[in-house]
């Protein structure tokens, strides 16, 4: 008599091929089927199925059957659901199920949603509309370059602790995947022009085509074909002999090389920042260097395919195209100009004059009479303003009543300390707060903003009297203190150097002195008096000798031949020995006939020393 022990319950466990093989061995030994199934940990019905099929579990992943194990709960409503799916292709099974529950309360339980989702999925695969097909493309060397902008704020980079919100113009060659980029702050045509030109000049050549997305600064909305490009972008393409391409609106996959490069590059930068241990940089330049290193690492394995492309690139033009937009604007009565819906201040002397505003990617230059008179940071977006208080303070001091409700008053606080100063003045003497603040601001414009700010911080810290007179007095005291610590360098007696150089002819660069040139000083000219000691020399050099300040190598008479020259050399040698200094690096002598000392540039060299 056999005792059948129930195996441990194995819910949702998969039958393995080892179990099936063991079941076959036990069946071959003549053991009862129920006992054999129990020994291998298999249900009796499951064991019966594998005996009937004669296959292993890996060969029977999906049971082939043409019957239902449960009644179709959606049979009655499915024709209606199918009609809706045919009309509205975007309908989801969850929306249809919620509608059924509203119309047939209590008939459909929440657990039946998954059943409807599987049925809708199967219908879409069997009878639904055709899906979009993506066609793999063959890339040819030297033919196509793709570019796009990508936001890099999510990298969390900071400059000296301040968040650095920026973008990267990303350029990639589709054949070799060689890539480079430029930091920018907007998707303007100026940023596109600067980034594209930087990439082409770094690459050293020009491909045939340039593809970008439908950037509004370069492409006219709703227009297709080459005529869709705006005039300035067409000028940029013509300058480099490029053919432009623009993808369809909303079809980012058509610029997939650039889009995928965004993802791969930013992931690599993010990983490098983790390994670096900090996302903070001391300056924007240091962050730019970091990005250049990252591009170099990304391109390290692409040298072979890049060489194929470089061989087919067309040459660059003779010079870059100026990446700016020029606008002619008039200076308004408020000493401001309006440039692309933003307000900038200029010097009040230009009021009512027409000036040219040149918009670059990150700056605005103001030109008047073919001369640049202002350079201002370019504002991002629209409706912004940048008022430089130095442009308007002269008249604002005369019209203090205009300060309280001035539209751009926030720009008249150069820093938080000036804002604190105004608040303190308003609290202590409300009637004179504006006048005193404007006088202090005027002092900052005339003297030094940093100096005035330092005085303001000092006065606010001690809590004493704070007004224009007190700030001016403190500023004067600080100026006197600085003057008392200034180092005065005594004038150098140039005759000392004349005497030294009289005894040694300057080298002409080939190890030979020049003697007897036409028009030189006559042989009988007496040398300068040699002093007992050197005056005006610098600190001792590494060899222990006195260190000379920079002196023109040609100081002294030129071309002294024969015995006189030897005597002068001997005198110079004795003097150099006494001073412990060796004359080195003396350049050519002054041109003959000029009499006095020649300048360093004319002489071609200087005596090395402390400048």
Classify residue 232 by burial, with Cβ atoms within 10 Å: 0-12, 13-18, 19+.
Answer: middle
Tell me, what's the pLDDT at 61?
A: 60
Tell me, what's the pLDDT at 503?
A: 56
* Contact yes or no for 63/50 (Cβ under 8 A): no
Classify residue 480 by burial, with Cβ atoms within 10 Å: 0-12, 13-18, 19+.
Answer: exposed
Tell me, what's the pLDDT at 517?
A: 42
Side-by-side strand order, sheet with 385-386? 336-339, 342-345, 385-386
Taking the C-alpha atoms of residue 280 and residue 159, their distance in angstroms, rounded to an integer, is: 6
Would the pLDDT of 583 be above 50?
no
Pick from 74-88, 183-197, 259-273, 580-594: least confident: 580-594
pLDDT-derived band at 64, boundaries 50, 70, 90: low
Would the pLDDT of 548 be above 60?
no
* Contact yes or no for 361/323 (Cβ under 8 A): yes
Would the pLDDT of 490 be above 80?
no
If you search the block for the tokens 């205009």, which residue do you land on?
A: 402
Tell me, what's the pLDDT at 247?
A: 83
**What is the CA 339 to chain-centroid distance, rounded?**
25
Q: Of the candidates 594, 608, 508, 503, which has an alpha carbon nearest to the alpha carbon of residue 552?
A: 608
Tell me, what's the pLDDT at 6?
A: 46
Would the pLDDT of 509 be above 50?
no
Taking the C-alpha atoms of residue 443 and residue 418, their distance in angstroms, rounded to an integer, is: 12
Tell me, what's the pLDDT at 228?
A: 84
Q: Measured between alpha carbons, how far is residue 197 from residues 137, 188, 299 in Å?
A: 27, 14, 19
Tell me, what's the pLDDT at 258?
A: 87
Tell me, what's the pLDDT at 462?
A: 87
CB contact set of 70 (below 8 Å; sequence gap of 6+): none
Between residues 589 and 242, the one the model is more confident about: 242
Would the pLDDT of 521 be above 50?
no
> Token digits for 103?
């119309």
Tell me the per-residue pLDDT of 220-270, one tens digit each, with 9 for 90 and over.
887 777 778 888 999 999 999 999 988 877 777 778 888 889 999 999 999
Classify residue 110 by burial, with Cβ atoms within 10 Å: 0-12, 13-18, 19+.
Answer: exposed
Q: Output helix, strand, coil percentages for the chain, rounded to the nearest 5.
A: 45, 15, 45
Neighbours of 419 (CB within 10 A): 14
Tell me, what's the pLDDT at 502?
A: 63
> Token digits for 430?
């409300």
pLDDT-derived band at 586, boundaries 50, 70, 90: very low
Tell me, what's the pLDDT at 486?
A: 55
* Contact yes or no for 534/579 (Cβ under 8 A): yes
Q: Measured between alpha carbons, how far is residue 340 from residues 7, 19, 460, 461 in Å?
A: 81, 77, 41, 43
Would the pLDDT of 525 be above 50?
no
**What is the CA 199 to chain-centroid distance, rounded?**
14
DSSP-derived pairing of the beta strands 209-212 and 144-151? parallel
* pLDDT above 70: percentage of residues in the chain: 76
pLDDT-derived band at 593, boundaries 50, 70, 90: very low
* Contact yes or no for 396/438 (Cβ under 8 A): yes
pLDDT-derived band at 63, boundaries 50, 70, 90: low
> Token digits for 264?
């791969």
Would the pLDDT of 158 be above 90?
yes
* Contact yes or no for 50/20 (Cβ under 8 A): yes
- The strand pairing partners of 376, in sequence order, are 364
Would the pLDDT of 607 be above 70?
no
- The strand pairing partners of 172, in sequence order, are 146, 179
pLDDT-derived band at 65, boundaries 50, 70, 90: low
> Token digits for 87?
């009309």
Classify residue 433 by burial, with Cβ atoms within 10 Å: 0-12, 13-18, 19+.
Answer: buried
For 505, half-sphere exposure in the C-beta direction (CA atoms, 13 angstrom radius) is: 22
Tell me, what's the pLDDT at 265?
A: 94
> Token digits for 109?
């339980």
Would the pLDDT of 504 be above 50?
no
Tell me the per-residue pLDDT of 423-469, one tens digit each, with 9 for 90 and over.
999 999 899 999 999 999 999 999 889 999 999 999 999 887 888 99
- Give me the helix-helix angle, 93-103 and 78-87, nearest 10°: 130
SS3 for 439? helix
> Token digits for 560?
């002294």
Taking the C-alpha atoms of residue 203 and residue 225, their distance in angstroms, rounded to an integer, is: 28
Would the pLDDT of 488 be above 70?
no
CB contact set of 313 (below 8 Å; sequence gap of 6+): 142, 203, 204, 205, 206, 207
Tell me, what's the pLDDT at 480?
A: 62
Classify residue 534 by burial, with Cβ atoms within 10 Å: 0-12, 13-18, 19+.
Answer: buried
The single-letter DSSP state of residue 459 is H
Tell me, what's the pLDDT at 67?
A: 67
Tell me the per-residue pLDDT of 95-116, one tens digit each, with 9 for 90 and over.
999 999 999 999 999 999 999 9
Q: SS in 3 state form for 5-65?
A: CCCCCCCCCCCCHHHHHHHHHHHHCCCCHHHHHHHCCCCHHHHHHHHHHCCCHHHCCCCCC
Taking the C-alpha atoms of residue 589 and residue 505, their distance in angstroms, rounded to an integer, is: 7
> Token digits for 528?
């300068």
Taking the C-alpha atoms of residue 62 and residue 262, their distance in angstroms, rounded to an integer, is: 42
- Write down the mean pLDDT value for the chain: 80
Length of the chain: 611
Mean of pLDDT values over 175-196: 93
Please, what sign has the CA dihedral across residues 428, 430, 432, 436? positive
Tell me the per-residue pLDDT of 327-355, one tens digit each, with 9 for 90 and over.
999 999 999 999 999 999 999 999 999 99
């Amino acid at each position: 008599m056999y005792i059948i022990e129930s195996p441990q319950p194995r819910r949702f466990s998969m039958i393995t091929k080892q179990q099936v093989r063991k079941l076959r061995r036990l069946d071959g030994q003549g053991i009862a089927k129920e006992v054999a199934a129990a020994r291998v940990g298999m249900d009796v019905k499951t064991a019966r199925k594998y005996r009937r099929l004669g296959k292993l579990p890996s060969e029977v992943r999906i049971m082939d059957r043409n019957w239902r194990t449960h009644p179709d709960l959606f049979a009655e409503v499915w024709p209606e659901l199918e009609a809706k799916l045919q009309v509205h292709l975007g309908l989801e099974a969850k929306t249809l199920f919620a509608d059924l529950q509203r119309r047939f309360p209590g008939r459909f339980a929440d657990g039946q949603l998954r059943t409807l989702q599987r049925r809708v999925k199967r219908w879409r695969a069997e009878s639904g509309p055709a899906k979009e097909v993506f066609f793999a493309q063959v890339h040819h060397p030297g033919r196509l370059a793709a570019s796009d902008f990508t936001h890099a704020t999510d990298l969390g980079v900071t400059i000296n602790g301040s968040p650095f919100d920026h973008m990267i113009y990303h350029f990639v060659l589709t054949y070799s995947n060689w890539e480079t980029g430029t930091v920018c702050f907007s998707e303007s045509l100026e940023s596109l022009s600067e980034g594209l030109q930087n990439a082409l000049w770094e690459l050293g050549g020009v491909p045939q085509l340039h593809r970008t997305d439908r950037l509004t600064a370069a492409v006219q909305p709703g227009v297709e074909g080459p005529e869709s490009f705006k005039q300035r972008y067409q000028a940029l393409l013509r300058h480099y002999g490029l053919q432009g391409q623009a993808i369809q609106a909303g079809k980012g996959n058509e610029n997939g090389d650039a889009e995928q490069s965004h993802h791969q590059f930013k992931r690599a930068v993010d990983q490098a920042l983790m390994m670096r241990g900090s996302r903070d940089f001391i300056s924007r330049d240091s962050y730019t260097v970091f990005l250049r290193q990252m591009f170099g690492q990304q391109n390290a394995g692409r040298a072979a395919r890049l060489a194929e492309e470089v061989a087919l690139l067309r040459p660059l033009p003779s010079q870059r195209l100026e990446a700016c937009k020029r606008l002619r604007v008039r200076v308004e009565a408020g000493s401001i100009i309006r440039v692309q819906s933003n307000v900038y201040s200029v010097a009040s002397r230009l009021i009512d004059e027409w000036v040219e505003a040149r918009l670059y990617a990150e700056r605005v230059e103001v030109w008047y009479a073919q001369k640049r008179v202002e350079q201002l940071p370019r504002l991002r977006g629209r409706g912004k303003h940048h008022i430089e208080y130095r442009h308007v303070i002269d008249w604002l001091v005369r019209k203090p009543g205009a300060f309280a409700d001035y539209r751009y008053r926030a720009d008249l606080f150069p820093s938080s300390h000036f804002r604190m100063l105004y608040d303190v003045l308003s609290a202590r003497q409300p009637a004179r707060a504006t006048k005193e603040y404007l006088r202090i601001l005027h002092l900052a414009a005339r003297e030094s903003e940093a100096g005035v700010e330092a005085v303001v911080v000092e006065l606010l810290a001690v809590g004493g009297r704070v007004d224009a007179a007190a700030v001016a007095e403190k500023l004067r005291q600080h100026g006197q203190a600085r003057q008392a610590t200034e180092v005065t360098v005594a004038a150098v007696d140039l005759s000392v150097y004349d005497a030294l150089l009289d005894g040694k002819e300057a080298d002409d660069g080939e190890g030979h002195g020049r003697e007897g040139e036409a028009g030189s000083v006559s042989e009988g000219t007496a040398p300068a008096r040699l002093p007992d000691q050197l005056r005006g020399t610098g600190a001792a050099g590494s060899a222990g000798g006195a260190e000379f300040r920079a002196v023109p190598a040609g100081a002294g008479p030129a071309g002294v031949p024969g015995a006189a020259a030897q005597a002068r050399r001997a005198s110079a040698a004795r003097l150099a020995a006494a001073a412990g200094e060796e004359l080195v690096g003396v350049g050519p002598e002054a041109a003959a006939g000029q009499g006095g000392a020649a300048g360093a540039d004319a002489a071609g060299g200087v005596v090395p020393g402390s400048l």
